[in-house]
Amino acid sequence: MTRLTYDYLVLATGTTHAYFGHPDWASRAPGLKTLDDALEIRRRVLLAFEAAEREAEPSEQRRLLTFVIVGGGPTGVELAGALAEIARRTLRQDFRAIRPESARIVLLEGGPDLISAFPTSLRAAARRSLEELGVEVLTRSVVIDVDARGVSWRSADAASGGAAQRIDAQTILWAAGVAASPLARSLAVPLDAAGRVLAEPTLQVPGQPNIFVVGDLCALQQDGRWLPGVAQVAKQSGAHVARNIRRVIAGRPLTSFRYRDYGNMATVGRGSAVADIAGVRASGPVAWLIWLFIYIFWLIGFRNRLAVLSELAWAYVTFQRRVRLITGAPACRP
């Protein structure tokens, strides 16, 4: 085992998927955190359509063409919208025996609303946009089991009696929750209930002045509320820690971190989004243009901005997506 020494250490290992005490669900319902996760999701989605094309039994074909997304946060909403666009437009002319646009896409959310961090009007707008794309949105629906053939769920409404219901599906995608990186539990540091490091206002680990924590692994309250696990917090806390380390080296006192919330955005399919920025709320095409501008603006380098903009423009005009490679181990294919 190699032992490393350091002057200052920054913990920034983020979070992983939370399956609420059911780690066996992970192999059946992958989440979206890394590039590898995205490639795995693409593989499963494309293979489901390919398998349905070869399937002669109607009931099994319907199961293969059923896609379930668990979790109605920004990730789940964007996944559902993207899947609907792919099925109804991108793959529409690519098969002979099936109609990809007939695919059933179901979004299960345990709470009463989608994207609960957004204002009520934008939550309703996001739901309308998904339903216009043909996505079935089921709120107050708590998943109780995930297996190789589908999902079992129970309604949280008292009027329903809480009877278990079933959706047979080949492809299940997880966007229901996160848990702190296992690294935190291996350290002798104070943690919150989610396994995140309880940081000092300076973003130092209590009792460890040379160790800092940033991003989703950091648990810090501001104005009586816990900071959200979003990219804005991660970027700002990382920059603040860099400044504090420079202050330590220069022999100057450290400063407390202050998060500035610039707003939230989420895309909901082609040309549709919701945005809540500095008190300005928008939905539909206007919000999508705002999202596009900010997304391009924050990319690093002119070449990257130009490449991404041209890719998005091509996809928008042609309804196509350039990359449809099916990668991964053959043993994992349906």
The catalytic site residues sit at 78
**Pairwise CA distance, residues 237 & 208, whole Å:** 18
Q: Which two tokens stand for residue 226?
A: 């816990």
Q: What stretch of H or E contains 204?
A: strand 204-205
- Report yes or no: 119 and 171 within 8 Å, Cβ to Cβ: no
Q: Which two tokens stand for residue 154?
A: 């129970």
Beta bridge partners of 168: 150
The alpha carbon dihedral of 285, 296, 81, 48 has a sign of positive
Strand ordering across the sheet containing 141-147: 141-147, 150-155, 164-168
Q: Letter for the amino acid at 99?
A: R
- Report yes or no: 28 and 172 within 8 Å, Cβ to Cβ: yes
**Pairwise CA distance, residues 301 & 243, whole Å:** 23
Q: What's 166-202 look like in SS3?
A: EEECCEEEECCCEEECCCHHHCCCCECCCCCEECCCC
Tell which phi-psi region holds residue 36, choosing left (phi > 0), alpha (psi between -120 and 50) or beta.
alpha
User: Which residue is it, tokens 């919330």?
Assistant: 261
3-state secondary structure of 30: coil
